[in-house]
């Protein structure tokens, strides 16, 4: 086994490893990560965040525009506040927008759905740190059951 053959084989080895890495990076992983690049912060207050987690997606009409970056309680009454990083490509959310906590599928993961509101002369566009005033909290199963039973009881 001459030195030259050995070096050749080591080169092949390295090339195979790089090929594997590229395959994994491009074909396997989620590379169209929309939270890469510039982002700005929007916040929203909910009554109940349900199963929302940090890094849950934020979608408009099903298209991912950002991710949840932090979840905390604020104020004297401990209100849940969700902080989101939205890609700067989508920087025209007016203050009439709505944020809802939705579930993908029946037993899927939860995400935040943003609906842009109508835009008018006196409506402000939300900038970095802006708060989305209209929110719909997650649906809690117990409340639903309670509602259902209550409505049954009324019949």
Partner 1 sequence: MSMFHTLGRNILNNIQGVGQASIMLAQALVGKPQPRKMLPLLIRQLYVVGVQSMLIILISGLFIGMVLGLQGFTILVDFGAEQALGPMVALSLLRELGPVVTALLFAGRAGSALTAEIGLMRATEQLSSLEMMAVDPLRRVVAPRFWAGVISMPLLALMFNAVGIYGGFTVGVQWLGVDDGAFWSVMQSSVHWQDDIMNGVIKSVVFAVVVTWVALFKGYTATPTSPGISAATTQTVVYSSLAVLGLDFVLTAIMFG
Where do contacts with partner 1 occur on this chain (CB under 8 A)?
A: 1, 3, 6-7, 9-10, 12-14, 16-17, 19-21, 23-25, 27-31, 33
Residue carrying structure tokens 């604020």 = 74
Nearest approach, Cβ of residue 6 and partner 1 (Å): 5
Comparing CB distances to partner 1, the nearer of 27 and 152 is 27
Q: How far apart are alpha carbons 108 and 123 in whole angstroms?
A: 35
Comparing CB distances to partner 1, the nearer of 7 and 79 is 7
Q: How far apart are alpha carbons 18 and 94 in whole angstroms?
A: 46
Nearest approach, Cβ of residue 24 and partner 1 (Å): 6
Q: How far apart are alpha carbons 42 and 151 in whole angstroms?
A: 37
DSSP assignment of 52-80, as one string? --TT-EEEETTEEEEEEEEEEEETTTTEE
Nearest approach, Cβ of residue 14 and partner 1 (Å): 7
Comparing CB distances to partner 1, the nearer of 3 and 151 is 3
């Amino acid at each position: 086994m001459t030195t030259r053959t050995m070096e050749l084989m080591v080169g092949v080895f390295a090339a195979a490893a790089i090929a594997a890495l590229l395959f994994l990076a491009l074909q396997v992983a989620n590379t169209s990560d929309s939270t890469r690049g510039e982002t700005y912060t929007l916040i929203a207050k909910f009554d109940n965040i349900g199963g929302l987690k940090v890094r849950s997606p934020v979608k408009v009409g099903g298209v991912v525009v950002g991710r949840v970056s932090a979840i905390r309680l604020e104020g004297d009454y401990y209100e849940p506040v969700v902080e989101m990083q939205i890609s700067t490509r989508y920087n025209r959310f007016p203050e009439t927008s709505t944020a809802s906590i939705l579930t993908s599928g029946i037993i899927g993961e939860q995400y935040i759905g943003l609906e842009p509101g109508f835009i008018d002369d006196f409506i402000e566009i939300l900038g970095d740190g802006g708060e989305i005033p209209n929110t719909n909290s997650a649906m809690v199963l117990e409340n639903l059951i309670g509602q259902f039973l209550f409505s049954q009881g009324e019949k």
